Amino acid sequence: MSDAVTLTLATQPTHTLVADCIAADRFAGLGATAIAALPVVHGGRLATLGEFFRVRGERASVVRIEGDCTRIDGIGTGMAEGELMIDGSVGRDLGLAMSGGRIDVRGGAGANAGGAPAGAARGMTGGEIVVRGSVGDEAGARMRRGLLVVTGDGGRGMGKGMIAGTVVVFGNAGPGTGRFLKRGSIVALGEVERPATFRYACTYRPPHVALLLRYLGSRCRLDVVAAQVTGRYERYSGDLAELGKGELLRWVGA
């Protein structure tokens, strides 16, 4: 048993690599050889994780990934616990339908981060995803619980159809953010294009946002400005075309 399992990208995939076998809790019960033998799909063909990654360590629920994984999809799929730290960018479907644990990406992420598998009603149902960069379209779509934090910009349809949970975006959120939101919170610290089916409620200092941002500053070491912690937020209720119990909180300054 090791303190951590480290995957170092040794061979850059030439096509999209679906590596939905990479999850911290899954590695907790596996030796290095078994980890290397886990199946992946490269350009539509079956392969093994070991063909692309050098594996160090075994039987640990703390996993580090080193290398540019922009072409690698599905990292952290279905993860239920443990910690997954990625030094570099990742492809689409990061933390797909995860239910617990923590994913920390020191780079960007592709589309559907924290989202749902195709045809599924629910995206992530728990845990935390921190992306220290920008994300692609529909990040946090249909999420049921949990926390998705994006320090860069969000793509189109961020938090689309969210059932509950929290999305925080430090940069600008793309068009269609929060559309079809049932419950849950989208905290926008940059620019955000509000859907027409959201209605302004008030401008106030939401106490849970202060708590959340302080948590992100201390636990995740994110650069949170004091004015964001103590500042005022416009609250928009929505999506009124849906249940309408969600909210879009837009930071408007100290």
Partner 1 sequence: MKINGVAIEDTFAEAFTMRVARLLITGQTLGWAREAAVKLTGFATSVIGCQCEAGIERELPDGETPDGRPGVSVLFLTMDKASLPEQLIVRVGQTVLTCPTTACFDGLPDAPDRLPVGKALRVFGDGFQASKVIGGKRYWRIPVMEGEFLIEETFGMLKGVGGGNFLILARDADAALAAAEAAVAAMTGAPGVILPFPGGVVRSGSKVGSKRYSNMIATTNDAFDPTLKAVTQSQLPEVVNSVLEIVLDGTDGPSIEAAMRAGIRAACRPGVLTITAGNYGGKLGPHHFYLRKILG
Residue 54 touches partner 1, criterion: CB under 8 A? no
215 binding partner 1? (CB under 8 A): yes
Token output for 57: 């360590």
For position 206 contacting partner 1 by CB under 8 A, the verdict is yes
Q: Which amino acid is at 54?
A: R
CA–CA separation, 72 vs 143, rounded Å? 22
Residue from 210, 222, 225, 240 in contact with partner 1 (CB under 8 A): 210
225-231: Cβ within 8 A, 24+ apart = 227/253, 227/254, 228/189, 230/205, 230/254, 231/205
Q: Quote the least distance from Cβ 228 to partner 1, whole Å.
A: 12
**Is position 99 an interface residue for partner 1 (rule: CB under 8 A)?**
no
For partner 1, what does the binding mask look like between residues 158 and 197, x meaning CB under 8 A?
Answer: --------x----------------x-x------------
**198 phi/psi in degrees, rounded to 5:** -105, 140
* Angstrom distance (rounded) from CA 252 to CA 102: 29
Residue of the chain from 15, 199, 219, 221 that contacts partner 1 (CB under 8 A): 219
Identify the CA nearest to 177 among candidates 142, 150, 138: 138
CB of 11 to partner 1, least distance (A): 38
Q: Residue 202 or 252: which CB sits closer to partner 1?
A: 202
End-to-end CA distance of the chain: 49
Q: Which stretch binds partner 1 (CB under 8 A): 19-27, 107-115, 154-162, 203-211?
A: 203-211
Q: What residue spans of 90-225 are helical by DSSP H?
A: 207-219
Counting contacts by CB under 8 A, is residue 120 touching partner 1?
no
Which one among 212, 238, 249, 251 touches partner 1, defined by CB under 8 A?
A: 212
Q: How many CB atoms lie within 10 A of CB 194?
A: 18
| Contact set with partner 1 (CB under 8 A) | 145-147, 166, 183, 185, 202, 204-208, 210-212, 214-215, 219, 229, 245
